[in-house]
A and B are shown apart, each in its own frame.
Chain A
Amino acid sequence: MISQFNLFRYVEGDTVVHKADARPKVLGLTVLVFVFSFSPGWWGVGIVWLLAAVLFGLARLPLQVLPKPPKLLLYAMGIAMFFGVVSGGDPIVNVGNLSVGLGGAIVQLRFLLVTLGLLLLAMLIGWTTPAADLPRAAAWIMAPLRWIRVPIDELVAALTLAVRALPLVADEFTTVSTLWRTRPKRPGLEGVNGRLVEGIDVFATLTTASVRRATELGEALEYRGPMIVRHQHPSWRLADLAVFVLLAGASVGIYLVPV
Protein backbone atom coordinates (compact mmCIF):
# COMPACT_ATOMS: atom_id res chain seq x y z
CA MET A 1 0.00 0.00 0.00
CA ILE A 2 2.71 2.46 1.01
CA SER A 3 4.68 1.69 -2.16
CA GLN A 4 1.69 2.96 -4.18
CA PHE A 5 2.75 6.48 -3.23
CA ASN A 6 5.85 6.07 -5.40
CA LEU A 7 8.02 7.94 -2.92
CA PHE A 8 11.67 8.51 -3.86
CA ARG A 9 11.27 6.62 -7.13
CA TYR A 10 13.35 8.43 -9.68
CA VAL A 11 11.96 8.76 -13.21
CA GLU A 12 14.68 9.00 -15.86
CA GLY A 13 14.61 12.28 -17.75
CA ASP A 14 16.68 15.00 -19.38
CA THR A 15 14.55 18.05 -18.61
CA VAL A 16 15.47 21.25 -16.83
CA VAL A 17 13.83 19.93 -13.65
CA HIS A 18 15.86 16.72 -13.82
CA LYS A 19 19.06 18.59 -14.53
CA ALA A 20 18.60 20.93 -11.58
CA ASP A 21 20.58 20.00 -8.51
CA ALA A 22 18.81 18.72 -5.38
CA ARG A 23 19.84 21.85 -3.43
CA PRO A 24 17.61 24.44 -5.16
CA LYS A 25 14.70 22.00 -5.14
CA VAL A 26 14.91 21.16 -1.46
CA LEU A 27 15.69 24.72 -0.40
CA GLY A 28 12.92 26.15 -2.58
CA LEU A 29 10.36 23.69 -1.25
CA THR A 30 11.45 24.30 2.36
CA VAL A 31 10.97 28.05 1.92
CA LEU A 32 7.60 27.49 0.22
CA VAL A 33 6.31 25.27 3.04
CA PHE A 34 7.50 27.80 5.62
CA VAL A 35 5.81 30.74 3.89
CA PHE A 36 2.67 28.74 3.12
CA SER A 37 2.23 27.76 6.77
CA PHE A 38 1.77 31.49 7.54
CA SER A 39 -0.49 32.23 4.58
CA PRO A 40 -2.54 29.12 3.85
CA GLY A 41 -5.24 30.98 1.89
CA TRP A 42 -6.98 30.11 -1.36
CA TRP A 43 -4.51 32.26 -3.30
CA GLY A 44 -1.68 30.14 -1.92
CA VAL A 45 -3.52 26.93 -2.70
CA GLY A 46 -3.93 28.09 -6.29
CA ILE A 47 -0.24 29.01 -6.58
CA VAL A 48 0.91 25.67 -5.15
CA TRP A 49 -1.25 23.68 -7.55
CA LEU A 50 -0.26 25.87 -10.49
CA LEU A 51 3.40 25.43 -9.55
CA ALA A 52 2.95 21.67 -9.30
CA ALA A 53 1.31 21.61 -12.73
CA VAL A 54 4.11 23.72 -14.26
CA LEU A 55 6.88 21.57 -12.75
CA PHE A 56 5.03 18.40 -13.76
CA GLY A 57 4.83 19.66 -17.33
CA LEU A 58 8.43 20.89 -17.41
CA ALA A 59 9.64 17.53 -16.11
CA ARG A 60 7.56 15.77 -18.81
CA LEU A 61 6.40 13.20 -16.31
CA PRO A 62 3.76 10.72 -17.43
CA LEU A 63 0.45 10.75 -15.54
CA GLN A 64 1.13 7.15 -14.47
CA VAL A 65 3.56 8.40 -11.82
CA LEU A 66 0.64 9.81 -9.84
CA PRO A 67 -0.17 7.56 -6.89
CA LYS A 68 -3.45 5.74 -6.56
CA PRO A 69 -4.64 6.62 -3.06
CA PRO A 70 -5.58 3.58 -1.01
CA LYS A 71 -9.28 3.23 -0.19
CA LEU A 72 -8.55 3.70 3.50
CA LEU A 73 -7.19 7.19 2.81
CA LEU A 74 -10.20 8.07 0.67
CA TYR A 75 -12.54 6.91 3.45
CA ALA A 76 -10.61 9.03 5.98
CA MET A 77 -10.88 12.08 3.70
CA GLY A 78 -14.61 11.40 3.24
CA ILE A 79 -15.15 11.22 7.00
CA ALA A 80 -13.18 14.44 7.54
CA MET A 81 -15.29 16.16 4.87
CA PHE A 82 -18.49 14.86 6.49
CA PHE A 83 -17.52 16.41 9.84
CA GLY A 84 -16.64 19.62 8.00
CA VAL A 85 -20.14 19.74 6.54
CA VAL A 86 -21.97 19.01 9.80
CA SER A 87 -19.92 21.61 11.66
CA GLY A 88 -21.74 24.30 9.62
CA GLY A 89 -20.73 27.97 9.46
CA ASP A 90 -21.00 30.71 6.83
CA PRO A 91 -21.81 30.71 3.98
CA ILE A 92 -25.23 29.15 4.45
CA VAL A 93 -26.98 27.63 1.48
CA ASN A 94 -30.72 26.99 1.48
CA VAL A 95 -31.87 23.86 -0.28
CA GLY A 96 -35.67 23.82 -0.06
CA ASN A 97 -36.45 23.90 3.66
CA LEU A 98 -32.94 22.83 4.59
CA SER A 99 -30.18 25.30 5.49
CA VAL A 100 -26.66 23.98 5.13
CA GLY A 101 -23.65 25.88 6.49
CA LEU A 102 -20.69 25.28 4.17
CA GLY A 103 -18.05 27.08 6.25
CA GLY A 104 -16.61 23.94 7.85
CA ALA A 105 -16.59 22.03 4.57
CA ILE A 106 -14.76 24.88 2.83
CA VAL A 107 -12.09 25.02 5.53
CA GLN A 108 -11.76 21.23 5.33
CA LEU A 109 -11.45 21.36 1.55
CA ARG A 110 -8.76 24.04 1.75
CA PHE A 111 -6.84 22.00 4.31
CA LEU A 112 -7.06 18.97 2.04
CA LEU A 113 -5.87 20.88 -1.03
CA VAL A 114 -2.98 22.44 0.91
CA THR A 115 -1.86 19.01 2.13
CA LEU A 116 -2.19 17.29 -1.22
CA GLY A 117 -0.54 20.18 -3.08
CA LEU A 118 2.53 20.19 -0.85
CA LEU A 119 2.69 16.39 -0.94
CA LEU A 120 2.59 16.49 -4.73
CA LEU A 121 5.45 19.01 -4.83
CA ALA A 122 7.51 16.81 -2.50
CA MET A 123 6.81 13.78 -4.68
CA LEU A 124 7.77 15.77 -7.77
CA ILE A 125 11.17 16.39 -6.25
CA GLY A 126 11.48 12.68 -5.51
CA TRP A 127 10.59 11.73 -9.10
CA THR A 128 13.13 14.13 -10.61
CA THR A 129 16.01 13.79 -8.14
CA PRO A 130 18.08 10.68 -7.41
CA ALA A 131 17.36 9.74 -3.78
CA ALA A 132 21.08 9.61 -3.03
CA ASP A 133 21.34 13.37 -3.75
CA LEU A 134 18.76 14.38 -1.14
CA PRO A 135 20.91 13.90 1.99
CA ARG A 136 23.68 15.91 0.30
CA ALA A 137 21.21 18.73 -0.28
CA ALA A 138 20.00 18.47 3.31
CA ALA A 139 23.61 18.74 4.52
CA TRP A 140 24.06 21.91 2.49
CA ILE A 141 20.86 23.49 3.77
CA MET A 142 21.55 22.60 7.38
CA ALA A 143 25.22 23.66 7.26
CA PRO A 144 24.63 27.01 9.08
CA LEU A 145 23.27 25.04 12.04
CA ARG A 146 26.81 23.87 12.74
CA TRP A 147 27.35 27.29 14.30
CA ILE A 148 25.00 26.32 17.11
CA ARG A 149 26.56 22.85 17.36
CA VAL A 150 23.72 20.89 15.80
CA PRO A 151 25.18 17.45 14.90
CA ILE A 152 24.67 17.86 11.15
CA ASP A 153 26.96 14.97 10.15
CA GLU A 154 25.05 12.50 12.28
CA LEU A 155 21.70 13.82 11.04
CA VAL A 156 22.80 13.49 7.42
CA ALA A 157 24.14 9.98 8.02
CA ALA A 158 20.81 9.00 9.58
CA LEU A 159 18.91 10.58 6.70
CA THR A 160 21.05 8.72 4.15
CA LEU A 161 20.41 5.38 5.80
CA ALA A 162 16.71 6.17 6.25
CA VAL A 163 16.31 6.97 2.55
CA ARG A 164 18.02 3.69 1.71
CA ALA A 165 15.83 1.75 4.15
CA LEU A 166 12.53 3.23 2.95
CA PRO A 167 12.10 0.87 -0.04
CA LEU A 168 12.73 -2.10 2.26
CA VAL A 169 10.17 -0.91 4.77
CA ALA A 170 7.68 -0.23 1.96
CA ASP A 171 8.22 -3.79 0.67
CA GLU A 172 7.61 -5.20 4.12
CA PHE A 173 4.41 -3.19 4.49
CA THR A 174 3.22 -4.50 1.14
CA THR A 175 4.07 -8.07 2.11
CA VAL A 176 2.27 -7.93 5.45
CA SER A 177 -0.85 -6.30 4.02
CA THR A 178 -0.96 -8.81 1.15
CA LEU A 179 -0.59 -11.76 3.51
CA TRP A 180 -3.23 -10.33 5.81
CA ARG A 181 -5.62 -9.91 2.90
CA THR A 182 -5.17 -13.50 1.77
CA ARG A 183 -5.26 -15.13 5.21
CA PRO A 184 -8.43 -16.93 6.17
CA LYS A 185 -10.51 -14.90 8.59
CA ARG A 186 -10.00 -15.94 12.18
CA PRO A 187 -12.82 -18.22 13.36
CA GLY A 188 -15.13 -16.54 15.87
CA LEU A 189 -13.91 -13.10 14.92
CA GLU A 190 -16.08 -12.09 12.01
CA GLY A 191 -17.48 -8.68 11.23
CA VAL A 192 -16.22 -5.29 12.34
CA ASN A 193 -14.94 -6.62 15.67
CA GLY A 194 -12.85 -9.25 13.94
CA ARG A 195 -11.42 -6.76 11.44
CA LEU A 196 -10.52 -4.47 14.32
CA VAL A 197 -8.70 -7.21 16.23
CA GLU A 198 -6.94 -8.33 13.04
CA GLY A 199 -6.03 -4.71 12.31
CA ILE A 200 -4.37 -4.37 15.70
CA ASP A 201 -2.35 -7.54 15.09
CA VAL A 202 -1.24 -6.31 11.69
CA PHE A 203 -0.33 -2.92 13.12
CA ALA A 204 1.77 -4.66 15.79
CA THR A 205 3.58 -6.72 13.14
CA LEU A 206 4.25 -3.67 11.00
CA THR A 207 5.54 -1.81 14.05
CA THR A 208 7.85 -4.72 14.87
CA ALA A 209 9.13 -4.75 11.29
CA SER A 210 9.75 -0.99 11.36
CA VAL A 211 11.43 -1.12 14.76
CA ARG A 212 13.70 -3.86 13.47
CA ARG A 213 14.69 -1.69 10.50
CA ALA A 214 15.24 1.26 12.84
CA THR A 215 17.44 -0.93 15.05
CA GLU A 216 19.45 -2.00 12.01
CA LEU A 217 19.84 1.65 11.06
CA GLY A 218 21.06 2.47 14.54
CA GLU A 219 23.52 -0.41 14.51
CA ALA A 220 24.79 0.58 11.08
CA LEU A 221 25.39 4.10 12.36
CA GLU A 222 27.17 2.77 15.41
CA TYR A 223 29.41 0.45 13.42
CA ARG A 224 30.35 3.21 11.01
CA GLY A 225 31.43 5.30 13.95
CA PRO A 226 31.64 9.09 13.94
CA MET A 227 31.55 10.24 10.35
CA ILE A 228 32.23 13.64 8.99
CA VAL A 229 30.17 14.51 5.95
CA ARG A 230 31.87 17.08 3.80
CA HIS A 231 30.42 17.28 0.33
CA GLN A 232 31.75 19.22 -2.61
CA HIS A 233 28.98 21.48 -3.81
CA PRO A 234 29.36 22.68 -7.40
CA SER A 235 28.23 26.20 -8.32
CA TRP A 236 24.64 26.69 -9.34
CA ARG A 237 23.91 26.30 -13.04
CA LEU A 238 21.12 27.75 -15.14
CA ALA A 239 18.77 24.82 -14.45
CA ASP A 240 19.36 25.20 -10.71
CA LEU A 241 18.55 28.90 -10.84
CA ALA A 242 15.47 28.34 -13.00
CA VAL A 243 13.94 25.82 -10.61
CA PHE A 244 14.81 27.89 -7.55
CA VAL A 245 13.33 31.05 -9.09
CA LEU A 246 10.09 29.15 -9.79
CA LEU A 247 9.81 27.88 -6.21
CA ALA A 248 10.98 31.12 -4.60
CA GLY A 249 8.71 33.14 -6.88
CA ALA A 250 5.74 31.08 -5.73
CA SER A 251 6.73 31.72 -2.10
CA VAL A 252 6.92 35.47 -2.71
CA GLY A 253 3.53 35.36 -4.45
CA ILE A 254 1.96 33.58 -1.51
CA TYR A 255 3.55 36.01 0.96
CA LEU A 256 2.56 39.18 -0.85
CA VAL A 257 -1.13 38.40 -1.15
CA PRO A 258 -2.91 38.30 2.23
CA VAL A 259 -5.08 35.34 3.29
Chain B
Amino acid sequence: MVRLQGVHHTHSAGTPWARPALHDINLNFVAGDRVLITGVNGSGKSTLAWILAGLSAPSEGVAERDGESLVDEADDIGMLLQHTRLQLLRPTVATELGAFGCSPERIRWAVEQIGFPLSTLERPIDSLSVGQQRRVGLAVLLARGLPFVVLDEPMAGLDPDARRQLVQAIDRLPLTTTIVTVTHDLVDSAPLGTRVIELAAGRIVSDSDGPALHREVA
Protein backbone atom coordinates (compact mmCIF):
# COMPACT_ATOMS: atom_id res chain seq x y z
CA MET B 1 0.00 0.00 0.00
CA VAL B 2 1.19 3.51 -0.82
CA ARG B 3 0.55 6.03 1.91
CA LEU B 4 1.00 9.77 2.12
CA GLN B 5 0.45 11.24 5.54
CA GLY B 6 0.72 14.89 6.49
CA VAL B 7 2.72 15.64 3.36
CA HIS B 8 3.80 19.22 2.83
CA HIS B 9 6.20 20.26 0.12
CA THR B 10 7.98 23.51 -0.59
CA HIS B 11 10.15 23.99 -3.66
CA SER B 12 13.55 25.61 -2.98
CA ALA B 13 12.83 25.43 0.73
CA GLY B 14 15.04 27.66 2.86
CA THR B 15 15.90 30.00 0.00
CA PRO B 16 14.41 33.33 -1.10
CA TRP B 17 12.69 31.43 -3.89
CA ALA B 18 10.79 29.11 -1.55
CA ARG B 19 7.42 28.22 -3.08
CA PRO B 20 4.91 26.12 -1.17
CA ALA B 21 3.39 23.48 -3.47
CA LEU B 22 1.55 20.96 -1.30
CA HIS B 23 -0.21 21.26 2.06
CA ASP B 24 -1.35 18.49 4.36
CA ILE B 25 -1.83 15.74 1.80
CA ASN B 26 -3.21 12.49 3.21
CA LEU B 27 -3.80 9.68 0.71
CA ASN B 28 -3.82 5.90 0.55
CA PHE B 29 -3.60 3.76 -2.56
CA VAL B 30 -4.09 0.00 -2.59
CA ALA B 31 -3.22 -2.56 -5.26
CA GLY B 32 -5.31 -2.16 -8.40
CA ASP B 33 -6.47 1.40 -7.66
CA ARG B 34 -7.06 3.55 -10.74
CA VAL B 35 -6.77 7.15 -9.64
CA LEU B 36 -6.97 10.45 -11.47
CA ILE B 37 -5.35 13.47 -9.88
CA THR B 38 -6.65 16.66 -11.37
CA GLY B 39 -6.48 20.41 -10.84
CA VAL B 40 -5.63 23.61 -12.63
CA ASN B 41 -2.07 24.65 -13.53
CA GLY B 42 -0.03 25.30 -10.40
CA SER B 43 -2.31 23.27 -8.16
CA GLY B 44 0.51 20.90 -7.19
CA LYS B 45 -0.33 17.92 -9.43
CA SER B 46 3.15 17.41 -10.85
CA THR B 47 4.80 17.90 -7.47
CA LEU B 48 2.52 15.21 -6.06
CA ALA B 49 3.37 12.95 -9.03
CA TRP B 50 7.11 13.35 -8.37
CA ILE B 51 6.65 12.50 -4.69
CA LEU B 52 4.48 9.48 -5.51
CA ALA B 53 7.11 8.28 -8.00
CA GLY B 54 9.82 8.63 -5.37
CA LEU B 55 11.67 11.21 -7.45
CA SER B 56 11.61 13.78 -4.67
CA ALA B 57 11.09 13.56 -0.94
CA PRO B 58 8.41 15.72 0.67
CA SER B 59 9.62 18.61 2.81
CA GLU B 60 7.46 17.26 5.64
CA GLY B 61 5.36 14.18 6.26
CA VAL B 62 5.44 10.51 5.37
CA ALA B 63 5.52 9.11 1.83
CA GLU B 64 5.92 5.36 1.89
CA ARG B 65 5.09 2.08 0.21
CA ASP B 66 4.65 -0.94 2.46
CA GLY B 67 6.51 0.91 5.19
CA GLU B 68 9.50 1.89 3.03
CA SER B 69 10.18 5.47 1.94
CA LEU B 70 9.03 6.09 -1.63
CA VAL B 71 12.43 7.63 -2.44
CA ASP B 72 14.10 4.35 -1.45
CA GLU B 73 11.50 2.44 -3.49
CA ALA B 74 11.88 4.58 -6.64
CA ASP B 75 13.47 1.64 -8.48
CA ASP B 76 10.16 -0.22 -8.22
CA ILE B 77 7.87 2.64 -9.16
CA GLY B 78 7.16 3.47 -12.78
CA MET B 79 6.78 7.00 -14.04
CA LEU B 80 5.64 8.16 -17.46
CA LEU B 81 6.58 11.78 -18.02
CA GLN B 82 4.69 14.18 -20.24
CA HIS B 83 8.03 14.88 -21.97
CA THR B 84 8.75 11.19 -22.34
CA ARG B 85 11.90 11.81 -24.38
CA LEU B 86 13.64 12.83 -21.17
CA GLN B 87 13.22 9.37 -19.66
CA LEU B 88 14.20 7.38 -22.73
CA LEU B 89 17.94 7.40 -22.15
CA ARG B 90 19.00 4.81 -24.73
CA PRO B 91 19.46 5.35 -28.46
CA THR B 92 16.93 2.79 -29.75
CA VAL B 93 13.66 1.25 -28.62
CA ALA B 94 15.33 -2.16 -28.15
CA THR B 95 18.19 -0.84 -26.04
CA GLU B 96 15.80 1.24 -23.93
CA LEU B 97 13.59 -1.76 -23.23
CA GLY B 98 16.62 -3.98 -22.71
CA ALA B 99 18.09 -1.67 -20.08
CA PHE B 100 15.89 -3.02 -17.32
CA GLY B 101 16.91 -6.67 -17.46
CA CYS B 102 13.68 -7.92 -19.07
CA SER B 103 13.85 -11.06 -21.19
CA PRO B 104 13.66 -10.72 -25.01
CA GLU B 105 10.26 -12.48 -24.96
CA ARG B 106 8.95 -10.01 -22.41
CA ILE B 107 10.23 -7.09 -24.49
CA ARG B 108 8.56 -8.40 -27.64
CA TRP B 109 5.34 -8.93 -25.70
CA ALA B 110 5.44 -5.37 -24.37
CA VAL B 111 5.98 -3.94 -27.84
CA GLU B 112 3.03 -5.91 -29.18
CA GLN B 113 0.86 -4.70 -26.29
CA ILE B 114 1.37 -1.07 -27.27
CA GLY B 115 0.36 -1.87 -30.83
CA PHE B 116 3.79 -1.53 -32.46
CA PRO B 117 5.22 -3.99 -34.99
CA LEU B 118 8.36 -5.76 -33.76
CA SER B 119 10.42 -3.87 -36.35
CA THR B 120 9.91 -0.79 -34.13
CA LEU B 121 12.49 -2.27 -31.76
CA GLU B 122 15.31 -1.23 -34.07
CA ARG B 123 14.08 2.33 -34.51
CA PRO B 124 16.03 5.21 -32.96
CA ILE B 125 14.12 6.96 -30.18
CA ASP B 126 14.50 10.32 -31.91
CA SER B 127 12.77 9.03 -35.04
CA LEU B 128 9.53 8.50 -33.09
CA SER B 129 6.77 11.06 -32.67
CA VAL B 130 5.84 12.38 -29.21
CA GLY B 131 2.90 9.96 -29.03
CA GLN B 132 5.05 7.03 -30.11
CA GLN B 133 7.72 7.92 -27.55
CA ARG B 134 5.04 7.94 -24.88
CA ARG B 135 3.91 4.48 -25.94
CA VAL B 136 7.51 3.26 -25.75
CA GLY B 137 7.64 4.69 -22.22
CA LEU B 138 4.52 2.71 -21.47
CA ALA B 139 6.05 -0.43 -23.01
CA VAL B 140 8.89 -0.07 -20.51
CA LEU B 141 6.34 0.00 -17.68
CA LEU B 142 4.55 -3.04 -19.13
CA ALA B 143 7.78 -5.00 -19.60
CA ARG B 144 8.93 -4.26 -16.08
CA GLY B 145 5.57 -5.31 -14.58
CA LEU B 146 5.75 -2.74 -11.81
CA PRO B 147 3.14 -2.72 -9.04
CA PHE B 148 2.79 1.08 -8.91
CA VAL B 149 2.95 3.52 -11.80
CA VAL B 150 2.44 7.25 -12.10
CA LEU B 151 1.43 8.80 -15.43
CA ASP B 152 2.00 12.54 -15.79
CA GLU B 153 -0.37 14.11 -18.33
CA PRO B 154 -0.28 11.06 -20.61
CA MET B 155 -2.82 12.52 -23.06
CA ALA B 156 -1.20 15.93 -23.48
CA GLY B 157 -0.44 16.86 -27.07
CA LEU B 158 -1.82 13.65 -28.61
CA ASP B 159 -4.34 13.43 -31.41
CA PRO B 160 -7.55 11.39 -30.86
CA ASP B 161 -6.11 8.26 -32.47
CA ALA B 162 -2.96 8.37 -30.38
CA ARG B 163 -5.06 8.94 -27.23
CA ARG B 164 -7.19 5.91 -27.99
CA GLN B 165 -4.10 3.77 -28.58
CA LEU B 166 -2.54 5.00 -25.36
CA VAL B 167 -5.67 4.23 -23.33
CA GLN B 168 -5.71 0.73 -24.83
CA ALA B 169 -2.05 0.27 -23.91
CA ILE B 170 -2.62 1.49 -20.35
CA ASP B 171 -5.54 -0.94 -20.07
CA ARG B 172 -3.06 -3.75 -20.65
CA LEU B 173 -1.22 -3.03 -17.41
CA PRO B 174 -2.00 -5.81 -14.90
CA LEU B 175 -5.17 -5.36 -12.86
CA THR B 176 -3.10 -5.49 -9.68
CA THR B 177 -1.04 -2.49 -10.77
CA THR B 178 -1.94 0.76 -9.05
CA ILE B 179 -2.15 3.51 -11.67
CA VAL B 180 -2.13 7.15 -10.67
CA THR B 181 -2.74 9.51 -13.57
CA VAL B 182 -2.07 13.20 -13.23
CA THR B 183 -4.16 15.19 -15.68
CA HIS B 184 -5.95 18.45 -16.21
CA ASP B 185 -8.10 16.89 -18.91
CA LEU B 186 -10.79 14.82 -17.21
CA VAL B 187 -12.73 14.17 -20.38
CA ASP B 188 -9.95 12.32 -22.19
CA SER B 189 -8.51 10.72 -19.07
CA ALA B 190 -11.84 9.53 -17.65
CA PRO B 191 -11.30 5.91 -18.79
CA LEU B 192 -8.10 5.78 -16.75
CA GLY B 193 -9.60 6.31 -13.31
CA THR B 194 -12.28 5.10 -10.94
CA ARG B 195 -11.35 7.61 -8.27
CA VAL B 196 -10.77 11.32 -8.77
CA ILE B 197 -8.72 13.52 -6.49
CA GLU B 198 -8.89 17.22 -7.13
CA LEU B 199 -6.16 19.58 -6.00
CA ALA B 200 -6.40 23.34 -5.64
CA ALA B 201 -3.57 25.53 -4.37
CA GLY B 202 -1.73 22.44 -3.15
CA ARG B 203 -4.62 21.04 -1.08
CA ILE B 204 -7.02 18.19 -1.71
CA VAL B 205 -10.44 19.72 -2.27
CA SER B 206 -12.29 16.56 -3.27
CA ASP B 207 -11.74 12.82 -3.37
CA SER B 208 -14.60 11.05 -5.12
CA ASP B 209 -15.25 7.85 -6.99
CA GLY B 210 -15.55 7.35 -10.73
CA PRO B 211 -19.28 7.51 -11.32
CA ALA B 212 -19.33 10.97 -9.76
CA LEU B 213 -16.65 11.99 -12.22
CA HIS B 214 -18.60 10.72 -15.22
CA ARG B 215 -21.65 12.66 -14.10
CA GLU B 216 -19.57 15.82 -13.72
CA VAL B 217 -17.94 15.37 -17.11
CA ALA B 218 -21.30 14.70 -18.74
B81 A187 Cβ-Cβ under 8 A: no
Scoring B residues 68 to 95 as 1 if CB is less than 8 Å from chain A, else 0, what string do you get? 0000001100010101011111110000
Scoring A residues 55 to 80 as 1 if CB is less than 8 Å from chain B, else 0, what string do you get? 00000011011000000000000000
Is A202 an interface residue when CB atoms closer than 8 A count as contact? yes
3 tightest A-B CB contacts, nearest first = A182-B74, A187-B101, A64-B15
Query: In residues 9-31 of chain B, which contact A (Cβ within 8 Å)?
Result: 14-17
> How many angstroms from the CA of A9 to the CA of B54 in the assembled complex?
27
Give the shortest distance, in Å, between A62 (CB) and chain B (any CB): 6
Q: Which of B75, B86, B90, B100 contacts A175 (CB 8 A)?
A: B86
Query: In residues 126-180 of chain B, which contact A (Cβ within 8 Å)?
Result: 126
CB pairs A–B below 8 angstroms (20 shown) = A11-B17, A12-B16, A61-B16, A64-B14, A172-B86, A175-B86, A176-B87, A176-B89, A178-B55, A180-B89, A182-B74, A183-B99, A184-B100, A187-B101, A201-B91, A204-B91, A205-B86, A205-B88, A208-B85, A209-B85
Give the shortest distance, in Å, between B183 (CB) and chain A (any CB): 19
Give the shortest distance, in Å, between B137 (CB) and chain A (any CB): 11
B14 A179 Cβ-Cβ under 8 A: no
> How many angstroms from the CA of A48 to the CA of B93 in the assembled complex?
51
Give the shortest distance, in Å, between B126 (CB) and chain A (any CB): 6
- Give the size range of A's interface with the partner: 20 to 34
Is B56 an interface residue when CB atoms closer than 8 A count as contact? yes
Contacts known (A179-B87, A201-B89, A205-B89); A186 close to B56, Cβ less than 8 A = no
Give the shortest distance, in Å, between B53 (CB) and chain A (any CB): 8
**What residue in chain A is nearest B15 (Cβ atoms)?**
A64
Query: In residues 33-67 of chain A, which contact B (Cβ within 8 Å)?
Result: 61-62, 64-65
B15 A65 Cβ-Cβ under 8 A: yes
Contacts of B126 in A (CB 8 A): 208
**Which DSSP category, helix, strand, loop or mixed, fits chain B's interface?**
loop
Contacts of B75 in A (CB 8 A): 182-184
**Which DSSP category, helix, strand, loop or mixed, fits chain A's interface?**
helix
**What residue in chain A is nearest B77 (Cβ atoms)?**
A182
Contacts of A65 in B (CB 8 A): 15-16
Number of B residues with CB within 8 Å of any CB on chain A: 23
> How many angstroms from the CA of A180 to the CA of B75 in the assembled complex?
10
B55 A172 Cβ-Cβ under 8 A: no
Contacts of A212 in B (CB 8 A): 85
Contacts of B89 in A (CB 8 A): 176, 179-180, 183, 198, 201-202, 204-205
Contacts known (A184-B100, A204-B91); A11 close to B16, Cβ less than 8 A = yes
Give the shortest distance, in Å, between B58 (CB) and chain A (any CB): 15
Q: Which of B17, B56, B75 has the most CB of A within 10 A?
A: B17
Contacts of B88 in A (CB 8 A): 205
Contacts of B100 in A (CB 8 A): 184, 186
A175 B16 Cβ-Cβ under 8 A: no
Query: In residues 80-128 of chain B, which contact A (Cβ within 8 Å)?
Result: 81, 83, 85-91, 99-101, 126
Contacts known (A182-B55, A208-B126); A64 close to B16, Cβ less than 8 A = yes
Give the shortest distance, in Å, between A83 (CB) and chain B (any CB): 32
Add 17 more A-B contacts to A62-B15, A179-B55, A182-B55 (CB < 8 A): A12-B16, A61-B16, A62-B16, A65-B15, A175-B81, A175-B83, A178-B55, A178-B56, A179-B81, A183-B75, A183-B89, A184-B75, A186-B99, A186-B100, A187-B101, A198-B89, A205-B86
> How many angstroms from the CA of A163 to the CA of B91 in the assembled complex?
29
Contacts of B55 in A (CB 8 A): 178-179, 182
Q: Which of B16, B54, B79, B83 contacts A172 (CB 8 A)?
A: B83
> How many angstroms from the CA of A212 to the CA of B85 in the assembled complex?
11
Contacts of B99 in A (CB 8 A): 183, 186
> How many angstroms from the CA of A212 to the CA of B133 in the assembled complex?
15
Contacts of B90 in A (CB 8 A): 201
Contacts of A209 in B (CB 8 A): 85-86
Contacts of A61 in B (CB 8 A): 16
> How many angstroms from the CA of A186 to the CA of B90 in the assembled complex?
11
Query: In residues 155-182 of chain A, which contact B (Cβ within 8 Å)?
Result: 172, 175-176, 178-180, 182
